């Protein structure tokens, strides 16, 4: 399989650079202007211009097109979000139609039809199985703000149903976002240690996906969770996990039995179970929710990213009825039980319209089935990659893939991504784990290109 992207065409502008390692004058000028005024997320600006960032001009399907007209296969769905690829006509049309009717109206004290319809659709799609029925939707903006809302709901729930429980149980290596509550329940040392003095009271336990714990990792994590809950369960308002796979930890997949144990322990000790499905939701793992792999339902489920097909910022917390009911003021209550939380753009109608169109397309075009087939195809194509000497491990659940590369130099993962970029594929690593998280609807040719470019890039960096 050649990774030469024959489908990658560039326009005939004389400003074009010859290869991705060169930047045209046009591109260079945008990068210089960017460096003068922009501060990018998760970015070390000391290297920024040397790393020659892609200056994205437009996008079509799975392709990003830069200001030089060069096409890059978007191998990580623009940070795990664009589940249907870019520029889907149905989502574009839904946003445009909504724009003509209502651009924005607050959700504090008024409501609107796309917000109501989307809640109905999400509740219909919510995971079913062991656990409570999820019956209510609380909207937020980004994944982090959904996590933030879920944590506050869990703490306030404890104060309104028994006694204040200030502790939250979290997994090592977890990532739940970058606002302070979300950082508090993260366990990724690089992202979280710097903010330690500012964080909430949490108890970290081993991750069932942590390879450093060996083959017993699942049992180790369950035993630790049992012992933490036995010791301090009455102080714990919530157990929060990314179900089945910890994405930003480097795609650490784990067994469903851990989720079953977490459900049982949360019930036994009166804590809420939170599943963070911001990365895993909306078909990413080959099922609608990662929870569906286990048949376990949490008390609170956070989702974001793919909810709008990755078009506009929207996230949500799906809540069980018993949680919602604890927030209803009763006669004689000294203070209202209201959840005092919300944002200016909560449930923005354009975002809700995009999400409704996305869910419609997902249903009509069996996008979950497509995702499951894409996952299988990736597994097959990646088999020889996993056999390479310099590949430590390939971890995967559906279309979430992490290819861990043995370090051979500084920023090995980044070097592999740069080499893939030369072959027309844009990727972003997590340390030395190269992530593949393409649109769920990626075609066979593009999938071949994705894996072919990665294969050649790994070989190039090893050499
Ligand atoms: N939770 C999980 C599991 C995530 O993977 C992410 C982002 O990658 C977040 C929360 C934060 O989402 P956002 O970046 O939209 O704030």
Which residue in 367, 366, 438, 444 sits closest to 400, CA to CA? 438
Ligand 1 atom, smallest distance to 179 CA: 16
Q: What is the DSSP string of 391-440?
A: EEEEEEETTEEEEEEPP-STTHHHHHHHHHHHTTEE--EETTEEEE---T
Ligand 1, atom 10: nearest CA belongs to which residue?
176
CA-to-CA dists, residue 128 to 84, 154, 243, 298, angstroms: 25, 21, 14, 10
Residues 350-373 have a mean pLDDT of: 98
The hierarchical CATH code for the domain 92-364 is 3.40.640.10
Q: How far apart are CA 383 and CA 403, in angstroms?
A: 11
Ligand 1 neighbourhood includes 280 CB (under 6 angstroms):
no
Ligand 1, atom 13: nearest CA belongs to which residue?
143
Inter-helix orientation angle 444-462/367-386, to 10°: 30
Ligand 1 atom, smallest distance to 279 CA: 5
Ligand 1 neighbourhood includes 276 CB (under 6 angstroms):
yes
Residues 293-317 have a mean pLDDT of: 98
CA angle 395, 401, 406 (to 5 degrees): 60
Counting ligand 1 atoms within 8 A of each CB, the residue from 184, 304, 345 with the most, and so the one to mutate, is 304
Q: Is residue 10 scored above 60 in pLDDT?
A: no
Q: What is the pLDDT of residues 223-241, one digit of tens each?
A: 999 999 999 999 999 999 9
Q: Is residue 5 scored above 50 in pLDDT?
A: no
Which residue in 176, 78, 80 sits closest to 398, CA to CA? 80
Q: Is residue 314 scored above 90 in pLDDT?
A: yes
Ligand 1 atom, smallest distance to 248 CA: 5
What local confidence, expressed as pLDDT, does residue 17 receive?
A: 41
Domain ranges of the chain: 25-87+367-462, 92-364
Ligand 1 atom, smallest distance to 242 CA: 3
Ligand 1 neighbourhood includes 141 CB (under 6 angstroms):
no
Q: How far apart are CA 162 and CA 160, in angstroms?
A: 6
Ligand 1 atom, smallest distance to 313 CA: 15
In our burial notation (b when 16+ CB lie closer than 10 A, e otherwise), range 3-20 reads bebeebeeeeeeeebeeb
Which residue in 166, 187, 168, 165 sits closest to 176, CA to CA? 187
Q: Cα(187) to centroid of ligand 1, in Å?
A: 13
Q: Is residue 18 scored above 50 in pLDDT?
A: no
Dihedral pair phi/psi, residue 32, rounded to 5°: -65, -40
Q: Is residue 2 scored above 80 in pLDDT?
A: no
Q: What is the pLDDT of residues 406-439, one digit of tens each?
A: 999 999 999 999 999 999 999 999 999 999 999 9
What local confidence, expressed as pLDDT, does residue 22 receive?
A: 58
Write the DSSP symbol of residue 305.
G
Ligand 1 neighbourhood includes 177 CB (under 6 angstroms):
yes
Ligand 1 neighbourhood includes 143 CB (under 6 angstroms):
yes
Q: How far apart are CA 430 and CA 436, in angstroms?
A: 11
Q: What is the pLDDT of residues 174-225, one digit of tens each?
A: 999 999 999 999 998 888 889 999 999 999 999 999 999 999 999 999 999 9
CA angle 125, 237, 218 (to 5 degrees): 70
Q: How far apart are CA 289 and CA 278, in angstroms?
A: 10
Ligand 1 neighbourhood includes 147 CB (under 6 angstroms):
yes
Q: Is residue 4 scored above 60 in pLDDT?
A: no
Q: What is the pLDDT of residues 36-89, one digit of tens each?
A: 999 999 999 998 988 899 999 999 999 999 999 999 999 999 999 999 999 999
CA-to-CA dists, residue 75 to 130, 231, 401, 438, 460, angstroms: 35, 44, 11, 5, 19
Q: Cα(177) to centroid of ligand 1, in Å?
A: 5
Ligand 1 atom, smallest distance to 280 CA: 3
CA-to-CA dists, residue 290 to 312, 354, 378, 440, angstroms: 22, 22, 18, 15
Residues 282-310 have a mean pLDDT of: 98
Which residue in 318, 338, 342 sits closest to 330, CA to CA? 338
Q: Cα(140) to centroid of ligand 1, in Å?
A: 12
The CATH class that applies to domain 25-87+367-462 reads alpha beta
Ligand 1, atom 12: nearest CA belongs to which residue?
143
Counting ligand 1 atoms within 8 A of each CB, the residue from 80, 143, 187, 343 with the most, and so the one to mutate, is 143
Q: Is residue 11 scored above 90 in pLDDT?
A: no
Dihedral pair phi/psi, residue 57, rounded to 5°: -105, -40
Ligand 1 atom, smallest distance to 304 CA: 15
Counting ligand 1 atoms within 8 A of each CB, the residue from 78, 79, 144, 244 with the most, and so the one to mutate, is 144
Residues 4-12 have a mean pLDDT of: 36
Contact 337, 160 (CB under 8 A): yes
What local confidence, expressed as pLDDT, does residue 26 receive?
A: 84
What local confidence, expressed as pLDDT, does residue 19 receive?
A: 53
The gap between the terminal CA atoms of the chain, to the nearest Å, is 19
Q: How far apart are CA 2 and CA 37, in angstroms?
A: 40
Q: Is residue 20 scored above 80 in pLDDT?
A: no
Dihedral pair phi/psi, residue 357, rounded to 5°: -65, -40
């Amino acid at each position: 399989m050649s990774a030469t992207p024959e489908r990658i065409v560039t326009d005939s502008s004389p400003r074009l650079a010859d290869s991705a390692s060169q930047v045209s004058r046009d591109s260079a000028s945008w990068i210089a202007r960017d460096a003068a005024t922009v501060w990018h997320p998760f970015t070390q600006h000391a290297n920024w211009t040397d790393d020659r960032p892609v200056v994205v001009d437009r996008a079509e399907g799975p392709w990003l097109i830069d200001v030089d007209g060069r096409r890059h296969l978007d191998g990580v769905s623009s940070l795990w979000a664009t589940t249907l690829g870019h520029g889907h006509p149905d989502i574009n049309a839904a946003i445009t139609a909504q724009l003509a009717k209502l651009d924005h109206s607050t959700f504090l004290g008024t409501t609107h039809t796309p917000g109501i319809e989307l809640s109905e659709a999400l509740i219909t799609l919510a995971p079913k199985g062991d656990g409570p029925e999820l019956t209510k939707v609380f909207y937020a903006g980004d994944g982090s703000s959904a996590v933030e809302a879920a944590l506050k709901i869990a703490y306030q729930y404890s104060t309104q149903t028994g006694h204040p429980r200030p502790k939250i149980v979290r997994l090592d290596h977890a990532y739940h976002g970058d606002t302070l509550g979300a950082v508090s329940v993260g366990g990724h040392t690089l992202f979280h240690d710097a903010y330690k003095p500012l964080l909430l009271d949490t108890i970290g336990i081993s991750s069932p996906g942590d390879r450093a714990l060996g083959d017993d990792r699942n049992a180790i994590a369950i035993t630790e969770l049992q012992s933490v809950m036995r010791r301090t369960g009455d102080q714990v308002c919530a157990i929060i996990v990314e179900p089945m796979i910890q994405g930003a930890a480097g795609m650490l997949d784990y067994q469903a039995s851990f989720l079953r144990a977490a459900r049982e322990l949360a019930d036994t000790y009166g804590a809420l179970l939170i599943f963070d499905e911001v990365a895993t939701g909306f078909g990413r793992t080959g099922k609608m929710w990662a929870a569906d792999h286990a048949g376990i339902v949490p008390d609170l489920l956070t989702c974001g990213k793919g909810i709008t097909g990755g078009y506009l910022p929207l996230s949500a917390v799906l809540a069980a009825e018993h949680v919602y009911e604890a927030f209803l003021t009763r006669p004689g209550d000294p203070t209202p039980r209201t959840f005092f939380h919300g944002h200016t753009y909560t449930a923005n109608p354009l975002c809700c319209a995009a999400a409704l169109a996305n869910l419609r397309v997902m249903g009509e075009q069996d996008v979950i089935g497509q995702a499951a087939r894409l996952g299988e195809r990736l597994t097959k194509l990646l088999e020889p990659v996993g056999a390479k000497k310099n590949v430590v491990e390939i971890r995967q659940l559906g279309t979430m893939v992490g290819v861990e590369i043995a370090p051979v130099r500084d920023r090995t993962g980044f070097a592999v991504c740069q080499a893939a970029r030369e072959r027309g594929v844009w990727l972003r690593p997590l340390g030395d784990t190269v992530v593949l998280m393409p649109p769920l609807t990626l075609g066979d040719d593009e999938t071949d290109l994705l894996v072919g470019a990665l294969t050649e890039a790994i070989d190039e960096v090893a050499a």
